[in-house]
Structure formats: structure tokens, C-alpha cells
Chain A
């Protein structure tokens, strides 16, 4: 890096100095990329950061000392419970009240040396599906007096990196380290099909709001779209960097992709245009849209939690944590954000509007 001054500014996450800048604010970090590849800094509209449903900032409410790197995190629909996945087990936390937190339950899913990589609640909140560095997914019954395993789904893949559950709770999708996307019938606990295409591990997955399309990102630098009814690949987007995270906007035609290269890209699902966002300085490990679709968060290996405006990525707020932020979730009512940290803890934020 070439310094322009002898004592360079201490910037926060900053954009490469070679990018053009818009006066009055951070150097430009959001760019619109047109179909022909032209990149232009985005002039944010006036309602970028204000308006109904747009947060102003977030404040930390709880720290959940899981004790292992928290690779997976989810918050219940009631916002009462947070589930943190670390090594071997998922811990259940009651965050409904203030005060010091100890887990209210522990779900031992895997060998103690293997990380949980994803945990997803079924829409009714009564079951939790857990996947990680093992060939088996476990489905936990949370409604029982003490949580217990209801079922196990075993595949041939050595590990599951990401899970998604269909809105009707009938089907669950597992991204495997061998690149396959396994589709499980939850009621019958059988494999329905596999989507094959990724040539390397499938790292992230989301379902389009209509429940008809599946989007997956892979370590093979591609994002793929699959049709759930026809069982085939519909689209493929190639990138120059591995995909570590993605999310489909709940009610708009945007797909947010978090990359190993530190970029966040917001692809239009039907048009060849996108936004490229540069506020991370390292791999973008997780991202999640708010249920209203108007904003989303991304987390990075640079310890940052970034909140962005859909789709052009105006920065709403940033939070710097103490270590890589590997996972995140937003409560359905958009009031809480939970992050999982490399510092062996999870953090619950209250979103302030």
C-alpha cells in the first residue's frame, strides 16, 4: 500500500485507495455494475438510511459465552431463545430476560472435535436441524421436556456446511462439502434428490421467497440457481473468488453474495446488473436479510458486522467485534441480530430504529 501521507489516517474498514471517491463520507464503497461491466459509484437516494424499517444502529444486549468458536447461530421466532453451534454441540440460551447468561440446554450432536456449521429452526420453532463436520444431520425435538434427537439424516458427504428449510417445513436442503446439495424429505426422513453441479464444497444456501428456487454458493467460485420443482440448475454466476455466504432478499429480486475476496455483491436475479460493496476487509463469512427485505447484514473475518441497505448497499451501521464473525441471524421481527464469533461467544444485538 502506498501511503500518501507520512502518517496515514487510521481508517476504519476502508476501500482500496484506487477506487474513486465521492466527497463527503467514506471513500466510495458501493458500486453499480451494469450489464456491460461498467462500474460506477452509487449515489445513494435520500431515503437510503432513513425511513420506516431502516435501523439506525444496533446495541449489544447479551454476550453468550459458548466457549467454542460459534460457527452457527439462530434465534427463535419468539426471540426467546438463541441457539449457538460450536464444537460438537449446540447450546440453547434464554435471551428473553436480562441478566447473565448460561445455557439452558445443550444438544450434543457431533463428536466433540467437530464443528457444527449450521443450525436451522423449522418454521414452527419446535424442531432444530443441525449440520456440521459429519455425515449426519440431526433433527432435535425442542418441544420435549428436554430436547432430544428426533431423527438423523445420513448422507455420503463428509460434512454439511449449510442448511435451509423450505417454508412449508417439508423439505430441508443440505450443502455438502463434496459440492452436492442434498434434498431431504423431513417427514419421511429420506433423501429426495441431490443437486449436483458445484465442483467444490457448497458453502451457503437460501431459498427464494416463493419457495420454488434454491440459490447456492460454492467454493468453486460459482453461485447457482436451482429449480426445485424441476430439479435442475437454472442459472450460474461465475466469480473470481470463493463464495462464502449468500442470502436471497425476501421480497425483492436481489441476491446478496458474500465472498472470500471481501466483496459483497448484490445480484439482480433476473437482470445482468449488480452492486458491489466494499466495506469488508476480509472474507465475508455470513449474511442475512431482514424479513422486510429492506436491509441486510454481513459479517466478516475482519471482525465486522455490517448492516446495509438493499440493494445498493448504503452502510447503515457497522459494529466491530473482537474476532472473526462467522455466523449471524436476524430475528423474524427484525429486532435482534445475533452473531457468532471466533472469540467463542455469540452476541445478541438489539436493533435500534
Chain B
């Protein structure tokens, strides 16, 4: 049979037949011993790079002519109505000799071919033309944004941790290769101590020094990427972003955030876990170990936890690079706290315009632009500074109010919405009562106030991001029950109404206090001090007051909620916009956390 395998044109075997080869049936990564021809075939196959999506449609690769050297052109076959994520064996395996391999994979089995050696190669999903195929067996993880990490690392990366939980900047973003496209995996992250020391920052020498031994170990926490479990093909096709992961110093945290001690050094790790090894995977247990679990870490992502930045260079770099902190960039001055807030409000002008990534030149997108992530209220948090909501009237109080007479309605029908998304600002509103409290509190010296935080980081980057599908199906990506964006900015100052999300079955992201899912956008203030998420309820236009009244309290936090039907507004539980956070923290424009900002809320955080 051997001679048949080589180079003989396969007139009888099609790609589909190859899909039935033993190699295909056992899954690529198990073919360690059948790789003799891999490299050889790799070169041939490299020429046949094919669209991965086509390859992976259920039903296998389309028919290819039996001639040698055929490129893999996968004809997507319609999947069965309810079929699972099946992939044709052919996608992965090159059953017959001569078939090429998939960029990641698995050994083309030189044999297994029922005698023939067809050259038609099943569409290699990831062949890179002209390059030798990488070793397929092992998963490989590449850090995205490594340059930025390095810059932080050179200074000494610091990450803010808070009781409510704070996202990381930079966020961990990786690309994975070397997975079995047909295998299901969980991807998770944990953060482990680098050493058993506690640190302090010595200002006058601008150095970190050991200050003793580490505090006792924290409860183990694992952040499981929300897309899990998913096929290797799914994982490999996108940048995997952990931007929603939050760090907390609250050892009694019950939000599933990663618990860390302040002033300790940590190393984030990414885990790739084969689904069958994932039985023990849990957010509150250490990552399981075993043959199907692989951990990856990047030395340049080591950081020290802080409750306030110690090294000013870090602060500067964060402001400079974190789009949510853009507000602090004003004329190169580093202003923090109330002062910065006041100034930012002064720039607000009434306009309803959603911020999109397009507005923000040169800002690298964080996170994944794929719809699935966006649906989760996603990591594309990038708010621009543009939407200046307030008119030129300066407000001395840091109240988030919009200038007088800035009522505007933007009612968008779903269809309109997407068009409008690029140009409209979405606004949040706060209930009157809360606004009063707000004012009162912000007038206190030393108070900074909490940015509205939402767990969902929706960068109003594109229309897609704004339409958080509630339904959770692909078809709903761009439509949500309440997609029209009607926000009314009342003329009363400070009347910012914040419409609460209604509980629904889709909980976005990390905010576990919310029951609901939120269609959110963010309103990014000019200084991007905070973002608001507001719902896109078609009914909002009608009567903002009603909305207000149905809310018990002001939600400082940014819309983790969608503002949905007014009628459905649930009482907001105890979100206090302002609090007396003891820390000198900076305004954090990113939505971070639970809507219930409890007592320590008023802090402007900059991450």
C-alpha cells in the first residue's frame, strides 16, 4: 500500500473519504505517530491556504477534484438544523497521504488512506503560505499588546485593586494557536503570587522594596473566559481577551473576582483546558492540573497590586494609554481627582452621539471585536473623549449633570440605531434624588466620586457593540428588544437619570449582582472619566421622569444595565454614587463593577 500512497492520483477518493480516515476520526492531536509526512505535505499545503470558516462548516470539506495539488477549497455545507458544532474530520486531518495539513495540526497521516494518496487536501484552515508548518501538537499562546506590557514592565507594572473589583490595564489579551480545531476547550486565567513577599514603594528612591513576608494566602480564584467552552477553531480565530476580569482585595468577595493582597507581586497565567479535563474547573478552586491542562504565563505581565498608584510614571503611562483615562490627558497635565472632573464637565456639550472606535484615532482596540464578545458587553472599551455633553457652562460642582436645556431625544429604531450609533451620544441620567446626594457629597473636600461603573465595557465602538443582544443568539446580535436609544437629558440640573437595567437572563460579564443583561452603551465623557451604559429602550423617550421615579436610587455605576423598558425598571439596589473612599484613587472611567457601589464609592479611579 505504501507505494499507492505516494503521489498517485486519487481518482476514487474524495476529500470526504479522507474525512473518514482513522486520523480524522481520532482527532488530530492524537496523531503523534503519524506525522512522517507532515513537513513534506506542509509545503504543498501551504499553497492551499483556505478560509478557515469555510473549512469548518459542518458537513465537512467540499468536494475537491482528485487531482494533485488541489487547493483546499472548503465548500461550506449547510449544517443541520440543530446540529452541534461538528466539524468534518477532513478539516483537521488529512487522512490520506498527500493531503496537507492544517496549519495547526496534526499529522497528515500518510496512510490511512484507503489505499490512495490523493493530493486534494482538505482545506487547511490555517496554512500559512510559504512557511513551514508549525508543530501542531502543542497549544501556543501569544500575548497581544506585548509592547505595552513591556513598557509597563520596565517601570514596574502596578494594578489597582479595590473592594468592588477593578479591571486590569493593560488587560490580558492573547492569541492561541496549536489547538485541535474540533476539540472543545476552556480558557481560563488565574493570578498567582510571584513570591512570598510584601512590598512597599519608596518614593524618594522610586523603588519597590520588600517590606516583609506575604500575607496569608488568598482564596483561589479562576476567571473562566466567558466564551468557554468552545472549539479550538473558535478560540484560534479571535483574540481572546480577559478585559472583564476584575481584581479585588476583598477576601470575602462573592462576585467571583480574583482576590489578591495589596502590595504583593503577581503573575497572571492563561490556562488552556481540554474540555474533558475541565470537570474540576471552577471559579473558586485552583485550576486543575493534568495532561489536558496547559498553563502559559508571560514574564512581562508581572505586576504589583496597589490600592493607589505609587509610581507616577505608571500613572502617567496609564493615563496615556488607557482610553478610559483619556480625560486626564488634558494638555499634558496630570490632574487627578475632583479637579479633573470639574474640568471635564466643563467641556460637555449637548449632543447625542455615540462614541465609536472610529472616533478615537489610534486607540488600539482592547478585546475582541467579535460579536460574541461584544454581546457580552465586551471589552472594546473605548470611549472617546468627544462627546461633550455639557454645554459650555462650567459647572463648579462635579455633578454629572448636563447643561441646561440640553434635552434631546434620540429615538432610534433598531435599524436606525446602527446608523446612529456612530454619531450619537448616549447619555445617562441620574435620578434626581441621587443627584442631590451626589452634589452634596461631592462638595465635600477630598471626595472624589465614583465613576459609574458597569461591568460591561462596552466600547461604543460600533453599532454592534451597542446592541447587546439579549436573546443571545446570533440572529439577535443586532437587534434587541429595546434598541432605540432615547435618552432625555432633562434641563434640570443636575438631572441625570440613570436607567436601571432590567433583569433578564443574560447577565453581562462580571457583574454578578445584576440579574439582568444590559444593553449598554457607554457614554464617555470628554475626559472619559466614566462611562455610562444606558439602555436602548424605545420607550425611554417618553417619560424620563417616570423612569426616575421608578428607581430607588441613583446608580452611579455605569450601565451594567440596560435601560430597558421603563416599566420594567427594577429598583436599583443601593447604588451610591458617592462614598467616602479613603483612597486616593483616580477616576476610573471604566465600568467596573457592581451597581451596588457601597460605601466606598466616591472615588475617581483611574486605572
Contact = CB atoms under 8 A, between A and B. Distances in A.
Interface stretch (B107-115, B122-130, B352-360, B389-397): B107-115
A283 B20 CA distance: 10
Contact of B506 (A4, A280, A281, A282): A4
B82 interface: yes
Nearest to A116: B22
A322 interface: yes
Nearest to B245: A6
Interface centre among B25, B60, B508 (most CB of A within 10 A): B25
A276 B30 contact: no
Interface in A125-144: 133-135
A323 interface: yes
Contacts of B234: 1
Nearest to B77: A240
Given A6-B510, A242-B88, A201 B20 contact: yes
A324 B184 contact: no
A10 B278 contact: yes
B82 A6 contact: no
B419 interface: no
Nearest to A276: B82
B501 interface: no
B20 A323 contact: no
Contacts of A2: 227, 372, 375-376, 469, 472-473
A323 B224 contact: no
Contacts of B323: none
Contacts of B4: 158
B12 A1 contact: no
A250 to B, nearest CB: 26
Given A177-B13, A324-B26, A113 B20 contact: no
Contacts of A219: 14, 16-17, 19-20
Interface centre among A31, A201, A239 (most CB of B within 10 A): A201
A258 B16 CA distance: 16
Interface string B59-99: 11000000000000000011111111111110000000000
B89 to A, nearest CB: 6
Nearest to A13: B84
B459 interface: no
A201 B24 CA distance: 15
B114 A242 contact: no
Contacts of A18: 82, 472-473
Interface stretch (A53-61, A94-102, A260-268): A260-268
B244 interface: yes
A342 interface: yes
Contact of A326 (B14, B26, B507): B26
A70 to B, nearest CB: 10
Contact of A7 (B13, B58, B256, B372): B256
B80 A6 contact: no
A10 B281 contact: yes
A68 B91 CA distance: 23
B1 A342 contact: no
B114 to A, nearest CB: 3
B333 to A, nearest CB: 37
Contacts of A322: 276
B283 interface: yes
Given A177-B114, A260-B60, A303 B276 contact: yes
Contacts of B154: none
A8 B226 CA distance: 6
A39 B80 CA distance: 12
Contact of B16 (A115, A117, A220): A220
A71 to B, nearest CB: 6
A242 B19 contact: yes
B437 interface: no
A134 B115 contact: yes
B244 A6 contact: yes
Size class of the contact patch on chain B: 35 or more
B226 A342 contact: no
Given A178-B12, A200-B14, A203-B20, A1 B372 contact: yes
Interface centre among A2, A161, A201 (most CB of B within 10 A): A2
Contacts, number: 224
B379 interface: no
Interface in B547-586: none
A246 interface: no
Given A133-B113, A134-B1, A262-B86, A326 B59 contact: no
A298 interface: no
B227 A158 contact: no
B434 interface: no
A276 to B, nearest CB: 6
Nearest to A113: B111
A111 B376 CA distance: 54
B79 A261 contact: yes
A133 B18 CA distance: 12
A282 B182 contact: yes
B310 interface: no
Contact of B84 (A8, A115, A263): A263
B59 A261 contact: yes
B282 interface: yes
A301 B30 CA distance: 12
B311 interface: no
Interface in A119-172: 133-135, 157-159, 161
Nearest to B89: A283
B372 A263 contact: no
B411 to A, nearest CB: 27
Contact of B58 (A260, A285, A323): A260
Contact of B1 (A17, A114, A221, A324): A114
A111 B113 CA distance: 13
A263 B83 CA distance: 6
A74 B152 CA distance: 62
Given A219-B16, A241-B86, A7 B224 contact: yes
Contact of B22 (A115, A240, A278, A320): A115
B228 interface: yes
Interface centre among B78, B82, B186 (most CB of A within 10 A): B82
Contacts of A8: 224, 226, 228-229
A157 B113 CA distance: 12
A201 B79 contact: no
A260 B17 contact: no
A244 interface: yes
Contacts of B469: 2
B196 interface: no
Contacts of B144: none
B116 interface: yes
A263 B80 contact: yes
A157 B116 CA distance: 10
Nearest to A303: B276
A3 B507 CA distance: 9
Contacts of A262: 83-86
A113 B256 CA distance: 51
17 contacts: A1-B229, A4-B507, A7-B226, A15-B82, A18-B472, A111-B2, A113-B1, A117-B22, A177-B13, A201-B20, A201-B114, A240-B77, A262-B83, A301-B182, A324-B26, A324-B27, A342-B27
Given A2-B376, A133-B111, 11 more contacts: A4-B505, A7-B224, A114-B111, A134-B115, A221-B77, A240-B78, A240-B83, A242-B16, A282-B84, A324-B30, A342-B27
Interface of A: 1-8, 10-11, 15-19, 31, 39, 69, 71, 110-111, 113-115, 117, 133-135, 157-159, 161, 177-178, 200-201, 203, 219-221, 239-242, 244, 259-263, 276, 278, 280-283, 285, 301-303, 320, 322-324, 326, 342-343
